[in-house]
Amino acid sequence: MCLYLYLLCVCVCIWPECVLNVKKLLVSLASMEWYCYALLGIITALMSFFMDMTVAKLLNAHQWLYGCLKGHHLLQFLCWTLYPACLCALSTSFAHSVCPYSAGSGVPEARAILLGVDMPDYLSLSNLFAKMFGLICTLAAGSTVFLGKVGPFVHLSIMVGAFMNRLHVSCRGGKQRAAKGEMLVVASAVGVASCFGAPISGVLFSIEVMGTHYSVSDYCPCFFAAACGAITFRLLSVCIGDQDTIQALFKTSFSTDLPFQPFEIIIFALLGLFCSILSCIYLLCHRWALRFVKTNKPISTFLATEKSLYSAIVAFLLACFTFYHSAGHFIASELTMRQLLTSMLDGTSWYNISQNISALPEPQNTFWQAWNPPGKSYFQTLTFFIITKVGLLVVACTLPLPAGYFMPVFVYGAAVGRFIGEGSFYLLSGGISSGKSLINPGGYALAGAAAFSGAVTHTLSPALLAVEMTGQCSYAVPALVATLVSNAVARAKHRPSFYDGISLIKRLPHLPSLIRACPKLADVQIKQFVIPAGAVLERSEKLISVQHILKESTDSELPVVESRDFSVLLGTINRSQLRECLLEHRNEDSCKQLEEVCCVQPVRLHLTPDSTVKQAHCIMSITGEQRLFITESGRLCGVITWKEMKKIIEEMAKEV
């Protein structure tokens, strides 16, 4: 005991020295931010993994209870419907009582934050906890509410990134802003990477989410952190014995000798076209539903006061529909989302299985029984699934709880792909006569998933994500072709993407989505919104008057002009620097002039009132400038900071 105490004392004594030495050693190897990136990846991966584990346990508990009640239809019904209803109510009430900003996907907000807009409410610690707990509940509600993880997880990762940034700043101080932007971009890549163990898609996602310009200096950090996240996430599975080694999340075993014939490229392109048409319908319904919920008086007043009840009712209704003995057995509702995707990506065609059912190995047997309920063929179930799930998904999207909308769309796309794939298999293998064909419906499911989710979100990274998630490259080209075709149609005629739609409806300060919806906004000049600079110093200002101005203003930087009448901008003075100057010269003659005691920092960039808002936004988000001065013939006429920019964009959003 004494020895332990002694050791403890020694430890406490040499602890600070140790920490310093370790820090020195680490910093000598690489600069501090790289450790922050690695830590960001590891923390996010841990969060993702434990979230997945908790959700799996909760889902298992539900399935176990449901299984125990076999034979008692009413009890089974109650179990099936009340479990998700309670979880959704819990998720909503927790999220809204802790942090009302935690509802929804978070990606639209993240996009605005990544461009530089300050939205501290969306990066708070309370939001982190609310979102995490809420998301676990939502995911545990299973395939009944059919919601996913990616969006909120990217948001969570960005919150962790913001905290890592604070840690980094507290470690060394200075350059907070520029570093912050970088850390958040890295965090967005890490979010996707740790969610699926797919590092390269994570990086592509971080490029796409940036909207206008991607700084190439963020590229390496993104790759590094995403690799750390993805490897940790997959290694954890190895640690608990789920897998033998680092492998793909939804590993497939398609034949690689002849994965597809060249002519099939055309079918894949048609699949992309079909997916894009479906995506347009889905997006239209989704925007209509969001507007309806917002504008319909009874529903909006009910939602304003009774969010949890609304969630519970909607989840209950969804569960009623998906209950096995109502419509559930037509849409394989007993499978979890993971099982749905795995069943769709299976390399053996269902036609072949139907010819040779005897001794089907698990889990193929479960999947087969789910997709082939008594009296129905798999074509009928797939068709019914595709038709009804759009509606169910649109309804689920109105739930005011933390939830992702990417994975449902991905699974839905896989179903569409599987449908086309099974159809092609059936038609091209000569119908019932010969059961042999080279077409692999699993590959179509993969391409369909990429194409549909790509069309909904207007991104191309799902094509690579599908490859990384399945661990096989053989269908990379078909997936890319389908995604490109679906994107081409989905983006035509300035149609907004899923995230753009939410941004517009929520009136988020995200300029690129505004411009996409209304291209003429790109030419709006800044002169309509010029906000006069607050406190201004004259070059010959007396120190005593400087002191007055300093007291009244809160700006961190004050512009200095020639004189108030002839306000040619000379430069700026930092607040802290000004204070130091004043302190230094407090005992001297207070009639001294400003230019005698202080050094004016030159302003490197002037905008004129004729500059467009888009230009100002672009320059601010790229150069990391916190404040742009607007001058006309050299005279200061206004100033723009991110706060003003946010107001300007919100103002512009009203015009759309």
- Among residue numbers 421 through 480, which ones bind a second copy (CB under 8 A)? 460, 464, 467-468, 471-474, 476-477, 480
| Sequence-separated (6 or more) residues with CB below 8 Å from residue 100 | none
Please tell me whether residue 564 binds a second copy under the rule CB under 8 A. Answer: no
Using only the alpha carbons of the chain, give its radius of gyration: 29
Kindly state the number of chain residues that form the binding site for a second copy, as judged by CB under 8 A.
78
The per-residue b/e assignment along 110-142, b for 16 or more CB within 10 angstroms, e otherwise, is bbbbbbbbeeeebbbeebbbbbbbbbbbbbbbb
Q: Is residue 185 a contact partner of residue 222, using CB atoms and an 8 Å limit? A: yes
Nearer to a second copy, 60 or 608 (CB): 608
Among candidate residues 311, 476, 331, 334, the one with its CA nearest the CA of residue 397: 311
| Sequence-separated (6 or more) residues with CB below 8 Å from residue 196 | 150, 230, 249, 465, 468, 469
| Nearest distance from C-beta of residue 32 to a second copy, angstroms | 15
Burial class (CB in 10 A: 0-12, 13-18, 19+), 389: buried
Please tell me whether residue 108 binds a second copy under the rule CB under 8 A. Answer: no
Transcribe 32-88 into DSSP letters: HHHHHHHHHHHHHHHHHHHHHHHHHHHHHHHHHHHHHTTT-HHHHHHHHHHHHHHHH
Please tell me whether residue 490 binds a second copy under the rule CB under 8 A. Answer: no
Nearer to a second copy, 152 or 272 (CB): 272
The token pair that represents 419 in the structure block: 């449908």
| Nearest distance from C-beta of residue 215 to a second copy, angstroms | 6
| Nearest distance from C-beta of residue 402 to a second copy, angstroms | 27
Please tell me whether residue 360 binds a second copy under the rule CB under 8 A. Answer: no
**Residue 160 CA: distances (Å) to CA of 102, 184, 442:** 14, 9, 36
Nearer to a second copy, 296 or 528 (CB): 528
Among candidate residues 222, 171, 217, the one with its CA nearest the CA of residue 623: 217
Interface positions, 207-236, toward a second copy (CB under 8 A): 207-208, 210-217, 219-220, 223-224, 227, 230-231, 234-235
Query: Using CB under 8 A, which of 603, 620, 637, 645 touches a second copy?
Result: 603
Task: Annotate each residue in 16-35 with x if it binds a second copy (CB under 8 A) or - if it does not, as one string.
Answer: --------------x-----
Interface positions, 606-645, toward a second copy (CB under 8 A): 606-612, 615, 618-619, 622-623, 631, 633-635
Nearer to a second copy, 244 or 589 (CB): 244
Nearer to a second copy, 307 or 495 (CB): 495
Please tell me whether residue 190 binds a second copy under the rule CB under 8 A. Answer: no
Nearer to a second copy, 306 or 523 (CB): 523
* CA dist., res. 637 & res. 568, Å (int): 9
Region binding a second copy by CB under 8 A among candidate stretches 94-102, 240-248, 351-359, 427-435: 240-248
Query: Using CB under 8 A, which of 139, 466, 481, 504 touches a second copy?
Result: 481
Task: Annotate each residue in 141-180 with x if it binds a second copy (CB under 8 A) or - if it does not, as one string.
Answer: ----------------------------------------
Half-sphere CA count of 491, side-chain side, radius 13 A: 14
Interface positions, 515-544, toward a second copy (CB under 8 A): none
